[in-house]
Amino acid sequence: MPLTARIEAAIAGAVATGQGGDAPSRLSSALHYATAPGGARIRPTILTSVAMACGDDRPALTDAAAAALELIHCASLVHDDMPCFDDADTRRGKASVHRAYSEPLALLTGDSLIVMAFDTLARAAPDAPLRGIGLIRLLSTRTGMPHGICAGQGWESEARIDLRAYHRAKTGALFIAATQMGALAAGEEPEPWEELGARIGEAFQVADDLRDAVMDAGTCGKPVGQDDLHGRPNAVAELGVEGAIARLEDILGGAIASIPSCPGEAALAALVRRYADKLVPLTQTAQAR
């Protein structure tokens, strides 16, 4: 099965577990709406690619980990779009969940997706219990407090923000989860994989800051200028456009260099390189302005 089809099947299978004939139908519908069609599925793609580079000897566990990670990401998008955060009307080119369904249902959709993520991992865990439990802990650590994406969002309510700590928790955390969970799903120690995830996360945050600063809403599929609007810190404000582009290229080189030795090391380096190339048109757009 091609990688994208494998990941979509894993996510769809997880979301199906939240459905039932006697479940409230609008919330059921909102769970589908919030998770499909998805975006680039970058996090589960990285996770699955790392697992495959490490041998992928428990593919059902890899699939559960990939789906769980994407569910957490989707939950964070639903909650971040709500009026008390970004108040975003659109997401992935369609109405945001609270606009399409309602604020109560958006809140419940995010909550349900978080729960579903852990349920998905626990369903797959009995075949390899200690790996499964470890995967749950990696995901919870990178999602909640004090160092996960909840902490990252929480920094926006502080009077003084450390830019690197903020980005590392808000965006980096789920990329670290991606590389570490991929390794552990395949039975490898997760620790050596933290740096790769952290660097990929940094690269995407800088790219996102550049996109937010210079692209228009039609290209991006969501409202832009949000960081500036909310007075949030970002790399462009800190370094300027050219400085941010230089940092982006530096980070991606470091990411490839950090890949631990494993059977699929070369293929994984090629994957990161492909993602890096996708970011280049963006940086060219930025330089043209």
Question: Which residue ranges make up the site for its own copies (CB under 8 A)?
Answer: 18-20, 22-28, 31, 75, 79, 82, 84-85, 101-105, 107-108, 110-112, 114-116, 118-119, 122-123, 125-126, 129-130, 132-133, 136-137, 140-141, 143-148, 150-151, 153-158, 162, 165
CA distance 9 to 13: 6
CA distance 157 to 174: 21
Amino acid, single-letter form, for residue 40? A
> Based on CB atoms, which residue is closest to its own copies, 46 or 135?
135
Q: Tell the smallest beta-carbon distance from residue 13 to its own copies (Å).
A: 15
State whether the Cα torsion 119-63-165-209 is positive or negative.
negative
CA distance 94 to 36: 11
> Based on CB atoms, which residue is closest to its own copies, 136 or 196?
136
CA distance 271 to 4: 13
Q: Tell the smallest beta-carbon distance from residue 18 to its own copies (Å).
A: 4
Instruction: Say how far residue 27 (Cα) sits from the centre of its chain.
Output: 23
Q: Tell the smallest beta-carbon distance from residue 8 to its own copies (Å).
A: 20
> Based on CB atoms, which residue is closest to its own copies, 165 or 280?
165
> Based on CB atoms, which residue is closest to its own copies, 73 or 211?
73
Q: What phi and psi values does residue 95 have, to the nearest 5 degrees?
A: -60, 140
> Based on CB atoms, which residue is closest to its own copies, 111 or 242?
111
Q: Tell the smallest beta-carbon distance from residue 287 to its own copies (Å).
A: 34
What is the secondary structure of 185-214 as a DSSP string?
HTT--SGGGHHHHHHHHHHHHHHHHHHHHH
Q: Tell the smallest beta-carbon distance from residue 181 to its own copies (Å).
A: 13
> Based on CB atoms, which residue is closest to its own copies, 24 or 243?
24
Structure tokens at 144: 């909640």
In sequence order, the 6+-apart residues with CB closer than 8 A to the CB of 110 are 34, 75, 76, 78, 79
Q: 90-91 and 94-95: which strand pairing? A: antiparallel
CA distance 171 to 140: 15
Q: Tell the smallest beta-carbon distance from residue 200 to its own copies (Å).
A: 21
Q: Tell the smallest beta-carbon distance from residue 198 to its own copies (Å).
A: 15
> Based on CB atoms, which residue is closest to its own copies, 44 or 110?
110
